[in-house]
């Protein structure tokens, strides 16, 4: 994969995060990751983990699943590969370096595409979402787990104040769920079917977006 002006800084950042990523994120993201995995496999066994990272969620899949993971960062993927080998996660069928805005999978390959804690990091999220929609089978779902900023009100104002801190740890409050909802409407064939608050205290959300059958 050749680096562009947006992918190079991201790969560099996650080369630094990779050695400490699991220590920081594992317990904090586990409930949201488990909810995303359950929603994804409910659509069928063939799942794409977009931005799979160190593979924290890979152990939450049932044995009958067929999971393919992609990520920009070789450093993160190496750790995911180690987990697959150490834990014998035979349901993980491939782990590849790939940009989620340029997926090399054929149209209508997957029952579900899940992207956990990544969509707000991608400079062109609509391009990534359109790629997820393309590789989804009709009736399949995009399952996002993420922090999304509040649309308005006192919490939104607080988030605005805290945004430099949130950005530093990788969670921007500037990105609202309404941006994904607007993208779904613009496609004419994707529909947000669930937006659910999760641990901790609703900070993370699960969003399911279904492709019409």
Q: Which residues bind ligand SAM (CB under 6 A)?
A: 10, 14, 25, 29, 33, 51-53, 56-57, 70-73, 76, 99-101, 116-118, 121-122, 170
What is the number of other CB atoms lying within 10 angstroms of the CB of residue 25? 18
In angstroms, the CA 62 to CA 198 distance is 21
Q: Which is nearer to ligand SAM, 51 or 149 (CB)?
A: 51
93 or 102: CB nearest ligand SAM: 102
Smallest gap from residue 188 Cβ to ligand SAM (A): 25
Q: How far is the CB of 106 from ligand SAM (least distance, A)?
A: 18
Query: Measured from the CB atom, is 2 or 152 closer to ligand SAM?
Result: 2
Residue 96 beta carbon to ligand SAM: minimum distance, rounded to whole angstroms: 10
Residue with the CB atom nearest ligand SAM in the bound state: 53
Q: How far is the CB of 162 from ligand SAM (least distance, A)?
A: 18
Cβ 205 vs Cβ 198: under 8 Å = yes
Compute the chain's Rg from CA coordinates. 16
Q: Which residues are within 8 A (CB) of 141 and not within 5 positions of it... i.e. 6 or more apart?
A: 39, 40, 43, 112, 113, 193, 208, 209, 210, 211
Give whichever of 37 and 184 is closer to ligand SAM, judged by the CB atom: 37
Element (H, E) at 31: helix 21-41
CB distance 192 to 184 below 8 Å:
yes
């Amino acid at each position: 994969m050749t680096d562009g002006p947006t992918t190079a800084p991201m790969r560099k950042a996650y080369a630094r995060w990779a050695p400490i990523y699991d220590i920081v994120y594992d317990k904090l993201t586990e409930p949201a990751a488990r909810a995303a995995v359950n929603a994804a496999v409910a659509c069928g066994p063939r799942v794409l983990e977009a931005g799979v990272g160190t593979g924290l969620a890979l152990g939450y899949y049932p044995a009958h699943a067929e999971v393919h993971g992609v990520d920009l960062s070789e450093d993160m993927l190496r750790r995911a590969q180690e987990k697959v080998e150490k834990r014998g996660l035979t349901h993980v069928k491939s782990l590849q370096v790939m940009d989620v805005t340029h997926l090399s999978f054929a149209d209508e390959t997957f029952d579900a595409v899940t992207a956990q804690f990544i969509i707000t990091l991608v400079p062109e999220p609509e391009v990534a979402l359109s790629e997820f929609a393309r590789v989804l089978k009709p009736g399949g779902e995009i399952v996002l787990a993420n922090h999304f900023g509040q649309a308005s009100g006192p919490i939104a104002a607080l988030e605005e104040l805290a945004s430099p801190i949130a950005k530093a740890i990788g969670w921007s409050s500037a990105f609202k769920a309404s941006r994904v909802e607007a993208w779904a409407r613009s496609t004419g064939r994707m529909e947000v079917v669930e937006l659910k608050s999760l641990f901790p205290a609703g900070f993370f959300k699960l969003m399911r977006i279904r492709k019409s059958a």
